Structure 1
């Protein structure tokens, strides 16, 4: 009993979970075959440097039980998971302090793309969930599209880490990549002065939009491309764009979340950004097919 209490206190002090964390006390229900076919890829500037199966990860790192509020499920959930620090330090042969200095891209199997600072990713609390303990088998579906979040779902374990804006939770997580934003998305930059409204809009785009949407074919692939072959401001009225960004469900039901927190200044900036990028199109697909941009 004393040993179990001490282990639990140690987990709490390290911030591995909240409000409940336990080291593995039973074997996973996931078959060895499934473990071997569930793969995480590790990259540096887009180039693969390694990959690990769930089977290999479980051989190297002890899983924990993460229990806490999940903003997608909108209730308290329990997952069997692996803290991210050990996985990344092993994959990149670097310590946590060094990895915190980098910029990261997390990509899901469906093209969802999450740019994240190393300070955020490795602040403590991030875990890769691989088993839904509240489901007898498999996973409960997640999100508006009722997707299967497995085999890997990024969760955050502290009570202060439930905002999807600051602590995104990509499901069907496929890869980690150390790469600067400028290197990954060079054709999204409006190249305007810092006090230009388009610069503010670019910041909003990077924070809220690029996870699902692309500019000049660079960014997420879940939602529509916003600049090529035509910019969204070329075929949608500005006022409609503003209203749709704020609350898309008033137009149609779909996967895009509401952004009611955005101010008029934010929306003005986004429109200004789209207008600037309209004049700076880069379409590699058109170039392959003989087009000129």
Structure 2
């Protein structure tokens, strides 16, 4: 046992190493190495206030993500895949902005590794999508993927996963469809629904049961607001969605979508 603990401690203490990031767009593909990004002509030092992952102010060497996405149009759709299976669905338009909320690819320097996210856990490296002035773009925590290995252009979520779609008879601006948009932004990075989705972190939210079927009263909303207040365990990964990130009106829409999909179960 002592030998195992010693080896584990050694593994945790191993400094960051150089890594590679694949960016796969419909019209071009490129693999970036850590060293190339650190010396990129557009790289600069950025200050991140109240970093989503570290819960404090952080400083990074980073490249504006837009310059790594040549020729991408605002209508495009991307997915950032992390080493642990987290798959963030990202609309291209916010990533291409040069004013207001701005997306940056933070690059971990092996010579100056970032701190661990928690005791016994690795850092947010080797690559981390961070935002300056995120409040200006209503950027959610799920739009801050860390430990990124690949960024790829894909068809939209609705095109790839029809099992996620609400009743097609609903109007485009129906509250259920608004909730579906919020589900894509806030939930799909970790969860599947009806077996549809690319995430491998959290449970399916409709099969075998939808959370609206087993959370009574307003406990589901309380759980989304602060998961640890209802189910506390050290290995929990679900983040809390504060009202500043997901206002009450949007939380109602999200729960409305889930409740609607409880009546549209499809076995994977």
TM-score, structure 2 normalization: 0.72
Q: How does 1:1-293 map to 2 (within 5 A)?
A: 34-35=17-18, 38-44=19-25, 49-57=29-37, 61=41, 63-72=43-52, 73-89=54-70, 94=71, 98-124=72-98, 125-131=102-108, 137-142=112-117, 146-158=121-133, 164-165=139-140, 168-179=143-154, 180-192=156-168, 193-194=170-171, 196-217=174-195, 218-237=197-216, 239-253=218-232, 254-261=236-243, 262=246, 266-284=250-268
Distance 1:144 1:156, change over 3 A: farther
Structure 1, unpaired ranges of 5+? 1-29, 285-293
**Higher mean Cα deviation, 52-61 or 174-183?**
52-61
Instruction: State the distance in 2 between where 1:260 and 1:82 align.
Output: 29
Q: Is the 8 A contact 1:65 1:79 kept in 2?
A: yes
Contact 2:192/2:205 (8 A) holds in 1: yes
Describe the SS at the equivalent of 2:61.
strand
Structure 2 counterpart of 1:23: none
Q: How many residues align?
A: 241
**Given the superposition, is the C-alpha separation of residues 221 and 164 from structure 1 closer, same or farther in structure 2, using an over 3 Å criterion?**
farther
In 1, the alpha carbon distance for the partners of 2:194 and 2:64 equals: 35
Where does structure 2 lack aligned partners over 5 or more consecutive residues? 1-14
- Spell out, residue by residue over 1:175-201, the C-alpha distance to the aligned partner (whole angstroms, 9 max, x if none): 222222322333211134136543333
For the residues of structure 1 that align with 2:187 and 2:68, how far apart are their CA atoms?
A: 28
CA RMSD of aligned residues (A): 3.5
State the structure with more CA Rg. Answer: 1
**What secondary structure, in the 3-state scheme, does the structure 2 residue paired with 1:86 have?**
helix
1:120 deviation in Å? 0.2
Measured after TM superposition, the shift of residue 166 of structure 1 is: 7.7
Cα distance between partner residues in 2 of 1:238 and 1:164: 29
Higher mean alpha-carbon deviation, 142-151 vs 245-254, is at 142-151
1:258 match: secondary structure:
coil
Q: CA deviation at 1:60?
A: 5.7
For 1:83 and 1:264, the matched residues in 2 are separated by 32
**What is the CA-CA distance between 1:122 and the residue it aligns to?**
1.0
Q: Are the aligned partners of 1:68 and 1:159 in contact in 2 as well (CA < 8 Å)? A: no
How far apart are residue 50 of structure 1 and its match? 4.3
Using structure 1 for the length normalisation, give the TM-score: 0.67
Q: After superposition, give the CA deviation of every residue in 1:89-145 in whole Å (9 maximum; x if it has no partner).
A: 2xxxx2xxx432312222222222222222200102322112269xx7422123799
